[in-house]
Chains A and B, each alone.
Chain A
Amino acid sequence: MTEESTHPVSPLRPALVFLLALLFFASLAYPLTLTAVAPYLADVTDPGSAGGSIVSGPNGTSYSTLLGENITCAYWNGNLSSCPYRGLFWSRPSDTDYQYLTGAGNETPYGPTDPNLLNETRYYINETGVHNITSACGIPPDIVTDSASGVDPDISPCGALVQIPRVAYFTGESQSELTTLVNSYIRGSGVPGVGAMYVNVVELDGGLIDLMAQQGAG
C-alpha cells in the first residue's frame, strides 16, 4: 500500500474527464455497437424483433406483434350494431385506448378495494357478455380487467374461446371453425414451464379476417 500524498488533486478535473469517458463509452459506444449487431442477432431467433416486430396484416394493415390494439366494442354501451369490431375478438380493456404515445403510462387507475374497480369490472363483464356463457372457462379475468401496460396484446386462451359465440353470430362462421382458429393461435413462451399461455388478439383477428376473405373468394 502506497503512502498517502499530502496534496490531493482537485476533484473537478477527474470528474469532468470521467464524465466525458462515460459519455463516449456508455452513451455512444455501448448502444451503437449493440444496435449494429442487433438485426443479425435478432434474426437468429425472431426476425424483425430488433425493429419492434412489425409485420403486415390483412388489407394493407401493419402492426407490432408486441402491442395490442383498441379492438373492442366494450365502450359502445351494448349498441353493437354500429360498432365495427363486433365480429372480431376483443382486446383487454385499456384506459388509454391503446394509444402508444399519448396514452402511455396510465396505470390501472383504481385501488384494489375501490368500489369503482368493482363497478368497472362488472361493466366489462356485462359489455363482453361473458356472464351469459356457460363454459368451463368461467369468466376469464383478462378480458374484463385492465393490464399493467395498457397495451397488452394478449388475452388468455379462455378469453378468446368465450368470445366465439358473439364472433360466430356476427361473422356467420361456424363455432367449430372458430374454435379451430383460436386453437391455432394459442402460444406460450416456447420453453416448457415458462410463461402463461396466451392468444395475441391482433394476430388472431388478422387470421380471422384472412379466413373470411378466403371463404368470400372461394
Chain B
Amino acid sequence: MIAISTLPDVIVLIILGLVSAAIVGRYMAKVFVGRPTFLDPVMRPVESALLRLMGVDASRQMRWKEYAVALLVLNATATVFVFVLLLLQGYLPLNYWNAPGMNWDLAVHTALSFDTNTDFQHYTPELQTSLFSSLFGLMMMMFLSAASGISVGVALIRGFLRKDGTIGNFYLDVTQAFTRVLLPISILGALMLILAGVPQTLAQSVNIVPLAGPAQGIPLGPVAAWDSIEWLGSNGGGFYAANGASPLQNPSAITNLIAIFLMLIIPFSAPFMFSRMVRKEGEGRPLLIAALTIFLVAILLFLYFESYNPFLMSTGISQAGGPLVGAEQRFTLPESALFQIASVYGNVGSTSMSIGALTPGAQADLLWGMFIQGAPGGDGTGFGLLLINTLLAIFVGGLMVGRTPEYLGKKIGKYEMRWSTVVILSHPFAILIPTAVAFIFGLAQFSPAGLPSHQFTAVLYEFTSESANNGSSMGSLIDNTLYFNLAGAVVMTVGRYLPMIAMLAIGGTLASQSPLPPGPGTIKTDSSTFTVFLILFITIVTGLLFLPVLVMGPFAQGLLGGG
C-alpha cells in the first residue's frame, strides 16, 4: 500500500491548482466578455494591429457556421503549412542531427496530430524532427490548437448568454486566447521550469565524454519553452521521445509538480469561467464537482492498482514504493501517478511512466479517462464535452421525471440532442472500427510480441488516444505504418472537429433562443442532487459504451496474464 507520508505534496498541489483555477477562470471570463484586464495596456495595441492586418472587424459577431468556417480554414491552412515543412525539413536550416524529410503518411499524421491537439508521435523527435520543424511547425501548432480549443469552448458558453444567434468573433477569440491566456501563462511556466533546472538553449547538441562508453552528443534545445506550452495547451507532444519521463524535459520532482499544475490549470478553470460568463455563480459548481470527482477517483484507483504488481511478487523485489517498472526513481509513486492521471484525464498525453508497463488496472483507468474526455478534458473542448454530457443528462433526467428539458433558460430540443448524441456515439465508432480492422486484416505488428490481451490493449489504446485527442501511447505497437498513420489521421480529425462543430452548432441554436424564465418544471441544475445525477450519468453511459472492450483488453490481461 501507499505510505500516507508520500501524499502531502500531491494534495497541496491539487488544492493550490483549484485556487489558481478559480483565479484564472474569472480572469478568462473577463477577457472573453470584453471587460478590462491588467494586460490591456500591453496586449490591446498588439491585438488591434494584428486584427487590422487580418482585415477583420473584431466587433462583428458571427453565427455558428461562419465561426466554424473561420476555425476550419485557419487550422487547415496551418496544417498544410506544417505538412510541407515536415516533408521538406531535410532541406531546411537548424537541422543539426540531419533529420530527413518525413514520409508523406507520417507527415500527414504528424501535422494533423499537432493540429488536433493530439500530439500523438509516430516518430522519435530526437532523430526525426529538426529544431526548425519543432519551432516553426510544431510549437506554433501547439499554441494554435490550444487557442482554437479555448475559442470553441467560449463560443459554446456564449450560446447561453445571447439571443441573436451569434456566438462571438472567432478571430478575436483565437487572438485573445493566444495573447491573454496561452502566451502569458506559458512564459510564466517556462520561467518556473528554467528556475527548476529544465534546459533552455538554442544549442542543438552538446558533446560529452562519459565514464562509460564512447563520447556521445546530447540532443538539446529550447526545452523549457516547449514543455510549458506542451503541458499548458493540453498538447502533450514531447521534445524528447520519453516525454515527461525524460530527465531533460522533467528533471526533478519540482518540475513534475509544475508540469501537473500547467496541465490542469486551464481545464479546471473552465467551470469558474462558465459561472462568471452566465452570471450564475452556482451553475459551474456541479460541472466542477463532477469533473473533480471523476478525476480524484481516478487517482485513487490508479494508486490502488499501481501500488504493486502481483505478477512480480515471486521475484521477491521490494515494492514498497510501487513496482517502479517503467517509472523514474526521482518521483514518488503518487507524483508519477498524478502526472499520469492529469495528463490523460486532462487530455494532454504527456507521459511520466511507461504506459505499457503499468498494471492492467492502471491501464484501464487511463483508458477510462480517454473514454470520458471531459474530466476535466483538454483546453476548451474538455469543458465543451462536459457541457454536452450535461445537456444529455438534463434531457434524460427531464424525461425520467416528466419535466421540460431546459438549461439556464434555454430549451434542450431535438437539434441539440441530435448533435450531442452524434458526439457521444462517434467516439466508440472512431475507436472500435479501426481497432477491429487492424486485427481482422493483421495490420498490427508488435515489438516485442507480448501477450494477445496486451496487444489488443495497445491497439485499443492507440485509437482511443487518437479519438480523444490525447496522444499518449503504449510502446509495443509499431505505429509508423501506412495503416496506423492514415487511420490515425482520420480518427484524430473526426475526434477533434466533429465535437467542435457540434459545440458550435449547439451554441448557435442556443444563442438563437430567447431565454425562458425558470418555471416550476425546471430542473435545479445547481443542486447537489443534479451533481450526483450528472456523475452517475457520465459513468453509466461511458460504462455501457466501453465496458466490453475493457474486458477484452486490460481486464483479460489482468485475469489471464502471466502465462
Chain A contact residues, CB within 8 Å of chain B: 1-2, 4-5, 8-9, 11-19, 21-23, 25-28, 30-35, 37-38, 41-42, 44-46, 49-54, 57-58, 60-64, 66-71, 84-85, 88, 92, 97-102, 104-118, 121-122, 125, 131, 137-142, 144-156, 158-159, 188-191, 193-196, 198, 202, 205-206, 209
Give every chain B residue within 8 A of A148 (Cβ-Cβ). Answer: 242, 245, 326-328, 351-354, 357
Of chain A, the residue at the smallest CB distance from B238 is A105
Instruction: Pick the interface stretch among B52-60, B270-278, B543-551.
Output: B52-60
B208 touches A64 (CB 8 A): yes
Given contacts A104-B242, A141-B324, A149-B328, whether A19 and B77 have CB atoms under 8 Å apart is: yes
Chain A residues near B197 (CB-CB < 8 A): 42, 45-46, 49, 53, 66
26 pairs, A vs B, C-beta closer than 8 Å: A4-B61, A11-B70, A12-B73, A32-B202, A38-B194, A50-B199, A52-B201, A61-B209, A66-B251, A71-B212, A109-B448, A113-B561, A117-B312, A121-B317, A141-B323, A145-B317, A146-B326, A147-B326, A148-B353, A149-B246, A153-B247, A191-B254, A193-B5, A194-B254, A196-B321, A196-B330
Cβ of A27 and Cβ of B135 under 8 Å apart?
A: yes
Query: A115: which B residues are within 8 A, CB to CB?
Result: 562-563
Q: Are A109 and B187 interface neighbours, CB within 8 A? A: no
User: Quick one: given A42-B197, A196-B329, are A108 and B354 in contact (CB under 8 Å)?
Assistant: yes
Task: Provide the residues of chain A in CB contact with B54, threshold 8 Å.
Answer: 13-14, 17-18
Chain B's closest residue to A28 (CB) is B135
Is residue B429 contacting chain A, with contact meaning CB distance below 8 A?
no
- Give the interface centre of A34, A52, A53 by most chain B CB atoms within 10 Å: A52
Partner of A146, one of B63, B77, B211, B325: B325
Bitwise interface map of B from 357 to 376 toward A, beta carbon under 8 Å scored 1, else 0: 11110010000000000000
Instruction: Kindly provide the distance from the CB of A10 to the nearest chain B CB, expressed in whole angstroms.
Output: 9
From residue B12, how far is it (CB to closest CB) to chain A in Å?
A: 8
Interface residues of B in 385-410 (CB under 8 A from A): none
> Hey, which chain B residues are within 8 Å of A108, CB to CB?
325-326, 354, 356-357, 475
Does B450 sit at the interface, judged by CB under 8 A? Answer: yes
- From residue B234, how far is it (CB to closest CB) to chain A in Å? 16
Chain B positions 313 through 327: 1 when the CB is less than 8 Å from some CB of chain A, otherwise 0? 011111101111111
**Do A50 and B70 touch across chains, with their CB atoms under 8 A apart?**
no
Indicate whether B537 reaches chain A with its CB closer than 8 angstroms. Answer: no
Among candidates B206, B211, B353, B450, residue contacting A206 with C-beta atoms closer than 8 Å:
B211
Decide yes or no whether B178 CB sits under 8 A from chain A: yes
**Is B186 part of the binding interface, using a Cβ–Cβ cutoff of 8 Å?**
yes
Measured CA separation A183–B364 after assembly (Å): 40
Q: How far is the CA of A68 from the CA of B217 in the complex (A)?
A: 13
Kindly list chain A residues whose C-beta atoms are within 8 Å of the C-beta of B357: 107-108, 110-112, 117, 146, 148
Residue of A27, A153, A194, A202 near B140 (CB, 8 A) is: A27
Q: A121-B325, A202-B210 are in contact. List 20 more A-B contacts (CB 8 A).
A: A2-B59, A11-B70, A12-B73, A13-B54, A14-B70, A15-B74, A15-B78, A19-B78, A53-B251, A58-B211, A61-B209, A61-B210, A104-B126, A104-B240, A108-B354, A111-B561, A114-B561, A118-B315, A139-B315, A149-B242
Contact present for B240 and A63 (CB under 8 Å): no
Min C-beta distance of A173 to chain B, whole Å: 17
CB <8 Å contact, B225 and A34? yes
Instruction: Indicate which residue in A12, A21, A105, A125 contacts B315 across the interface (CB closer than 8 Å).
Output: A125
Instruction: For the complex formed, measure the closest distance between the CB of A171 and the CB atoms of chain B, giving whole angstroms.
Output: 15
**Minimal Cβ-Cβ distance residue in B for A40:** B194
Q: What is the bound-complex CA distance between A16 and B80, given in angstroms?
A: 11
- Please indicate the chain A residues that have their CB under 8 angstroms from the CB of B213 in the complex: 69-70, 97-98
* Residue from B212, B251, B329, B354 having most chain A Cβ neighbours under 10 A: B329
Q: Shortest CB–CB separation between residue B56 and chain A, in angstroms?
A: 5
| B residues in contact with A131, CB < 8 Å | 316
B236 CB → nearest A CB, Å = 14
Task: Report the Cα distance A2→B357, complex, angstroms.
Answer: 56
Quick check: is B37 within 8 A (CB to CB) of the other chain? no
Cα A13 to Cα B54 in complex, Å, equals: 6
**Which residues on B sit within 8 Å (CB–CB) of A154?**
328-330
- Residue B216 is within 8 A (CB to CB) of chain A in the complex: yes
The answer on a CB contact under 8 Å between B220 and A14 is no
Q: Judging by beta carbons under 8 Å apart, are A31 and B222 in contact?
A: yes
Give min CB distance, B298 to chain A, whole Å.
Answer: 18
